[in-house]
Amino acid sequence: MMKNRSTAPMRVAKAGYIVMSLVFCAAGAACIAKPGLSASVIGHMLGAAMILFGAVKLVGYCSRDLYRLAFQYDLGFGLLLIALGALVLARPNQVLDFLFTALGVAVLTDALYKVQIAVDAKRFGLASWWLTLALAIAAGGVGLALVLRPWDSARLLTILLGAALLSEGVLNLCVAVSTVKIVSHQRPDVIEVTSYEVKDETL
């Protein structure tokens, strides 16, 4: 008899997604409220957050939740976040300009993935697909602005960075809550096939 799949990895991934989304929201709010934060503080804060969120994304990718929506693109994206976070932590004072562009690209890329998730969620019949789509478009717009950097002012760029983090946090929180479905009776992705030996009785 086939055993039910353990829900522990899915629960860990969902909880981690929610917690890290809230961390990104808090970091974004801090950047908006205090745009005069030093490059070292911003670098250490974001470097650690990206590494942790990257690890959560890898756990999510391996968890195989029911709909397979929230985590389907998280293998590559999780590895990218870990690599970026390690780079930022290694040189928090020297890579701030790079961080703006890299994080903007990451937010824009994730937003595009979330657009696809919203389309898939609509096909699954999830009522919240439109909210995911709207938040993805908003986050993508902020990410693009962070890449283009329309201002030279460090304070304004820090505020824009905060807006990008906040929008990314809200987007991922929405996706985690609305699309990660955990059921206790979920079966493994293995089809058991019973083989039979057929004897040739013609001889």
What does each C-alpha distance from 4 to 15, 48, 68, 92 come to in angstroms? 21, 35, 17, 45
Does a structural domain hold residue 2?
no
Does a structural domain hold residue 164?
yes
pTM summary value: 0.79
Does a structural domain hold residue 190?
no
Single-letter amino acid, residue 100: F
Average pLDDT over residues 147-154: 82
Does a structural domain hold residue 172?
yes
Does a structural domain hold residue 195?
no
Does a structural domain hold residue 145?
yes
SS3 194: coil
- Give the pLDDT score at 191: 42
Tens of pLDDT, residue by residue over 1-34, are 445 556 777 788 889 989 999 999 999 999 999 9
188: pLDDT confidence band, cut at 50, 70 and 90?
Answer: low
By residue range, what is the domain housing residue 34?
A: 8-178
Does a structural domain hold residue 194?
no
CA 15 to chain centre: 13
Does a structural domain hold residue 203?
no
SS3 72: coil
60: left (phi over 0), alpha (psi -120 to 50) or beta: alpha
**The total number of residues written for the chain in this structure:** 203
Token match 């969120």: residue?
53
Tens of pLDDT, residue by residue over 75-103, are 888 898 899 889 888 887 777 778 888 88
